[in-house]
């Protein structure tokens, strides 16, 4: 990944995180965080990976809300950042944190069950 691509990726992640934090306060839909952004080489598309703290229903509602307001969020992003083209954003649920927590809890359970010498 080039230095410019990395800088744009970080800028998009930070800016979208601020917009989401401001426009979607934790409530019925749970806490939404922007975990990562994957930008295409031509900077015209960006996959936004979000984490949602809450039950599966809250996650579904949060993803529906984000996808429903994608155009508005993209417009706001275009007003905030200075790029020739505002990347077309798409939201994807990032469950890597939950998978990591599940793995850690399984490892802790195995450690507790293991007989001590």
Segment 37-92, tens digit of pLDDT:
999 999 999 999 998 887 888 888 889 999 999 999 999 999 998 888 889 999 99
* 19, 8 contact by CB (below 8 A): no
pLDDT higher than threshold 70 for residue 117: no
| Cα separation, 87 vs 99, whole angstroms | 29
| Cα separation, 99 vs 13, whole angstroms | 22
- Quick one: average pLDDT of 25-39? 84
Domain count, the chain: 1
* 35, 49 contact by CB (below 8 A): yes
Residue span of the structural domain in which 97 resides = 3-113
| Cα separation, 99 vs 27, whole angstroms | 24
- Quick one: average pLDDT of 100-115? 78
pLDDT higher than threshold 70 for residue 116: no
């Amino acid at each position: 990944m080039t230095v410019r691509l990395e800088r744009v990726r970080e800028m998009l992640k930070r800016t979208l995180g601020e917009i989401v934090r401001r426009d979607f306060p934790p409530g019925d839909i749970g806490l939404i965080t922007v975990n990562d952004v994957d930008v295409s080489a031509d900077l015209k598309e960006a996959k936004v990976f979000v984490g949602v703290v809450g039950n599966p229903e809250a996650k579904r509602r949060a993803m529906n809300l984000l996808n429903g307001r994608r155009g508005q969020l993209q417009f706001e992003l275009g007003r905030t950042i200075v790029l020739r083209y505002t990347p077309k954003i798409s939201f994807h649920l990032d469950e890597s944190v939950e998978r990591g927590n599940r793995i850690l809890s399984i490892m802790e359970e195995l450690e507790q069950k293991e007989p001590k010498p």
